[in-house]
Each structure stands twice: as C-alpha cells, then as structure tokens.
Structure 1
Amino acid sequence: MTVGATVSTIGVERVPASVRTLSSLSRIDYADHFVLPTDAAATVERWARVMFGDTPDAIELFLWRGLLGLRLSRTASANTVAGWQIGEQSAEWIRLEAASWFLTANLVVQASGDSVALGTFLRYDRWLAHLIWPPLSALHRRLVPGVLRKATSRITAGKTPSGVSSR
C-alpha cells in the first residue's frame, strides 16, 4: 500500500470548481477538500461506508445530530451512509446529503486509482450556522486526514468495520 501525505484545500474559492460542482447546494458558504494519495482500491460507495459506517457511531451522533442538528436516518439502508442520504453517485464519486434547521451539508467522497478524497460543503441557512460551524470546522479539519488514513488501512487490509456492508 502506498500512502502519501494528505493535501487539504480550505475555502470555497480555493476548492477546485470541478469538485465544487459535485455539491447539490445552491450556495456554498463553507468548503474544504482533502486528498490522500493511495493505491488502495475500492468502489466509491465502499470508501464512504468504510469511512463512516452504515449508521453513525457515538462521536458522529454527538457532532452531526447533537451539535449540528442534522436530520439523519435512524436505520441503515442501501440509500444511506451513516444516516446521510445518498444524493447522487457515479463510479468516481458519491454525494451524501443532510440538513438541519440552520444548515445544509454535503459530503463528497471521490476515489480514483491513485487517491481518495473527501469534500465538505455547507450552506448556512440561518444565522446560527455562522456561529456554530467556524469553531467546529477546526475540529473537522483535524479529524478528516485520520478518517482518510484509517479508511485506507481498512480497505487495504480487506477489513470492514462492524455494521458496514461490504459492497
């Protein structure tokens, strides 16, 4: 397994337009994109499921449902990843969608033969999002590289976290 350093791009205008167009949001107020070079191979949906699972874990529930108020599916299904709705997907990318009363979010996972990437896109629907997300975004940006590295290790080892379908 070859794994390089994670490269991050933070800021709506700094994230490449080709990545931003994968978001379903009418307006993007926050964007970041993390890319990890790797030769680990899997479908893009498997990458997403290995990163996040079929249902959110306790930490994800606290962050996503508790702090961000995201309305997530409570049961695992073929149409969700960790409670996020699968909005759209292709062979190269999958978009996960969720919303709360004050923001709307997309997670975009991309996979190619030489890298895996995760993009986060938010639209602030109410003033509260302007207060809550900036401090949480610092934590988010610290966690994402580890999420990518851990998923790469699991894919390479052929492991599937418990509760994650192995599609």
Structure 2
Amino acid sequence: MPMSTVHRELPVPDAVRGLGAMTDPDYLDVFTLTTGDAADWTPEQWARAMFDDVAGWQGQVLFRVLLGLRLARRRSPEHVAGWRIDERGADSVRLAAKSWFLTARLVVRVTDGRVSLATFMHYDRALAARIWGPTSARHRAAAPGLLREAHDVLVRSRRGDQSSR
C-alpha cells in the first residue's frame, strides 16, 4: 500500500476556492491526502467512501441534527449521504446542502496523486456562527481521519472486486 499523508492547506488554493462556487464563504478549509493511488478512484467514489461509508450515522447526526441540513432520505445517483451532487467535473465533485441558517458545500478533488476535501460554509443567519464555530474544531480534527479511512475503504473494495473475479 502506498505511503499516505494528510495536511491542511493554508492558504486555500485558488483552484479549490473556485470549485466551491461560493463567492465569500464565512468558513473554508481544505485537507489533502497525498497517496500514490488517489487517481485510481473518481472524486465521486472518494466522496461516497468518505460520507456514506466512513462518516456513516455519526455524519448524519452532525449534518441533519446539529446543522439542520435538508438532505435526501434515500441513496441515489444524484446524492451522496443525502447531499445533492451540485456539480461533477473531470477531477472534482461538489456536494451542496442548506439548512434554515446556513449553506454548506463540500468539494472533493482528485489531482496529481492527491485527494482534497474542501468545506465551505456561508452563514445565512447569526446562529450559524454560534453552531459551526465550535463544531468546526471537531471537523478539523476529524477530516484527516476521514480521508485516510476513505482510502482504506476504497483499497478494501478494490481487493474485494479483484478477489471475486
């Protein structure tokens, strides 16, 4: 298995900032996993591994309960963990969701042996800053593990696919 590292990108690269399609986010961060096999999977496969498989029910509690995001109830080709797929590109996928107090976007980008997760938040009401402010610290602590564990999920799924042939 290739060696992998995760780091937070500061400042946020302009290329990633543009993918969020949010002119003036109140919160923005980017975490990047460097691994030689990142491009073996599409951005959407990475997103599904991160949010459907790794984040699972704990992610749903954060998204639906704490942040009040209005997410789809069923899995579908147009949703990842309930988030609407807002845009698909050759090297990225953007997920979007809203609550009554904030607008959120997640961007997963795969380039040059790296996969990045960018989180964009726009505070539509003052309450958003009071909720996301403390929650963002937990998000920043969890993001590196989310990327690493998604990589593990994808590697295991590939091994499973190969062993079933």
**TM-score, scaled to structure 2:** 0.88
SS in 2 for 1:53: helix
Shift of 1:53: 1.5
Mapped partners of 1:57, 1:35: distance in 2:
21
Match for residue 42 of structure 1?
Answer: 41
Aligned positions, number: 156
Mapped partners of 1:82, 1:24: distance in 2:
20
Shift of 1:94: 0.3
Match for residue 33 of structure 1?
Answer: 30
Mapped partners of 1:140, 1:3: distance in 2:
24
**TM-score, scaled to structure 1:** 0.87
SS in 1 for 2:46: helix
| More helix by percentage | 2
Shift of 1:3: 3.0
Long gaps (5+) in structure 1: 161-167
- Deviates further, 108-117 or 97-106: 108-117
- Give per-residue Cα distances to partners, 1:96-130, cap 9 Å, x unaligned: 00010110000000112411110000000000011
Match for residue 143 of structure 2?
Answer: 144
- Residue type of the partner of 1:117? S
- Give per-residue Cα distances to partners, 1:19-41, cap 9 Å, x unaligned: 11001224211000000101221
- Deviates further, 39-48 or 75-84: 39-48
Match for residue 57 of structure 1?
Answer: 56
- Deviates further, 36-45 or 1-10: 1-10
Report % sequence identity.
45
Q: CA RMSD in A?
A: 1.7
Residue 131, structure 1, aligned to residue 127, structure 2: no
Match for residue 4 of structure 2?
Answer: 4
- Give per-residue Cα distances to partners, 1:105-161, cap 9 Å, x unaligned: 00000112411110000000000011111100000001110110011112222259x
Q: Is the 8 A contact 2:5 2:35 kept in 1?
A: no
